[in-house]
């Protein structure tokens, strides 16, 4: 295990009926709150009423900013920055999933910036300060509620890039498993894929040769997510399964599972960002397409670790590492299909002749992320495995 510093300052308030505490928590940071949410689902399931009632009870001035879509876009976020400045918001509250939280984080940083907020995403500028961000989570997937990252798509050029800074890490996040009861089955499935991919990328792409503690963390969380998802798809209102899911996915990408692993990289996310930027497909759906293809591409380099995953997760008994690895990839892809997530470009309606366009788009992000091993030609080869 290599040297590391682990610090996660997010306060988690967990459990049924806890959304009513949001007003008091927000009030600790300011009196005027920008309330960021999506396309209206929180008004149908009652979460909006719970959150706003609590904010009003705390005597807060609420400025609403709805309309965040899955795969959030820069043009809408810029409107949120302008609104927050106009109304002199002191704190940002995201009520939603990763897209809403990422939008709230970008707004929080953008309000304090005297330059184009996109400069943060291209690493031309670093975030020096931001408004406090709090969240009420309604979709368990990205762990944005407990990490310092955010993703955004700029429509010009169809670029889906990310930022990372401790200044945008949520101060408080409320996790009520009942808020997930009304999620569509597809998004419950995509959530599982997202969390699994978040853990498996550092699991395979790191510079630490001996990591039994971290490996077992990933494997244990992955088994919990898979078991919970299978229950949820049959029983959407199963509290125990939703509770295990929301807590496991939060820990899947909050820094813990990759501590001590040295330099890590996320090539699968890098490629998937092009799929969701160009075709606006759900992030989890894109990951279930790319991850098995990338695993096949990296088979020779990662046979040992792929075999370990196959044995620990799918109980593959094959002794030959390569054969075990192949069996594990097939089982993971089959599980993605079984829960209803697409596993090929064709299934997602993405034509094979677009592979060159996707690879060219992804190669730009590979340069930004300094993934030097991932040229356009390499990305093309991986995408060929995803057909």
Mean pLDDT of 183-208: 96
- Please check whether residue 66 is in contact with residue 40, taking contact to mean a CB–CB distance below 8 angstroms: yes
Residue 304's pLDDT is 95
- Measure the CA–CA gap between 380 and 366, rounded to whole angstroms: 13
pLDDT digits (tens, 9 = 90+) for 224-240: 999 999 999 999 999 99
Q: Report pLDDT digits (tens) over 124-164.
A: 999 999 999 999 999 999 999 999 999 999 999 999 999 99
Q: What's the predicted TM-score (pTM) here?
A: 0.95
pLDDT in tens, 97-109: 999 999 999 999 9
Of 280, 223, 250, give the one whose Cα is nearest residue 141. 250
Q: Output the pLDDT for position 387.
A: 92
Contact 273, 362 (CB under 8 A): yes
**Which pLDDT band, with edges at 50, 70 and 90, does 18 fall under?**
very high
pLDDT of residue 230: 98
Domains of the chain (ranges, CATH numbers)? 11-179 (3.40.50.1970), 185-384 (1.20.1090.10)
Give residue-wise pLDDT tens across range 36-50: 999 989 999 999 999
Q: Is the pLDDT of residue 111 over 90?
A: yes
pLDDT in tens, 263-313: 999 999 999 999 999 999 999 999 999 999 999 999 999 999 999 999 999
pLDDT at 261: 94
Which pLDDT score, from 0 to 100, does residue 40 have?
A: 87
**Structure confidence at residue 378 (pLDDT):** 97
| Average of per-residue pLDDT values in the chain | 96
pLDDT at 1: 87
């Amino acid at each position: 295990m290599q040297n590391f510093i682990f610090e996660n300052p997010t306060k988690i308030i967990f459990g049924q009926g806890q959304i009513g505490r949001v007003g008091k928590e927000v009030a600790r940071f300011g009196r005027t709150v920008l309330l960021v949410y999506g396309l209206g689902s929180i008004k149908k399931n009652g979460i909006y009423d719970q959150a706003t009632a609590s904010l009003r009870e705390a005597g807060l001035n609420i400025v609403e900013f709805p309309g965040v879509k899955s795969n959030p876009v820069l043009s809408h976020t810029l409107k949120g920055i302008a609104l927050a400045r106009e109304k002199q918001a002191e704190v940002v509250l995201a009520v939603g999933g990763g897209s809403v939280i990422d939008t709230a984080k970008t707004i929080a940083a953008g309000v304090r910036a005297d330059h184009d907020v996109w400069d943060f995403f291209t690493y031309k500028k670093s975030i020096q300060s931001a408004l406090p961000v709090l969240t009420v989570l309604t979709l368990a997937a990205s762990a944005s509620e407990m990490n310092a990252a955010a993703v955004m798509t700029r429509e010009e050029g169809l670029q889906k890039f990310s930022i990372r800074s401790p200044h945008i890490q949520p101060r408080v996040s409320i996790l009520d498993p009942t808020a997930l009861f009304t999620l569509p089955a597809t998004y419950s499935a995509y959530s599982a894929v997202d969390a699994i991919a978040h853990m498996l990328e550092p699991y395979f792409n790191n510079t630490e040769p001996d990591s039994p503690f971290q490996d077992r963390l990933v494997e244990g969380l992955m088994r919990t997510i898979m078991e919970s998802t299978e229950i949820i798809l049959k029983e959407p209102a199963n509290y125990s399964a939703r509770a295990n899911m929301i807590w496991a996915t939060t820990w899947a990408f909050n820094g813990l599972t990759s501590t001590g692993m040295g330099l890590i990289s996320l090539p699968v996310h890098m490629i998937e960002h092009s799929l969701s930027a160009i075709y606006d497909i759900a992030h989890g759906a894109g990951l279930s397409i790319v991850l098995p293809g990338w695993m096949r591409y990296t088979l020779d380099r990662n046979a040992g670790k792929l075999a370990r995953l196959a044995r620990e997760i799918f109980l593959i008994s094959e002794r030959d590492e390569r054969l075990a690895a192949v069996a594990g990839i097939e089982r993971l892809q089959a599980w993605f299909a079984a829960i209803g997530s697409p596993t090929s470009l064709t299934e997602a309606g993405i034509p094979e002749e677009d592979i060159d366009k996707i690879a060219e788009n992804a190669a730009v992000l590979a340069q930004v992320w300094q993934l030097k091993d991932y040229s356009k030609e390499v990305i093309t080869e991986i995408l060929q495995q995803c057909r």
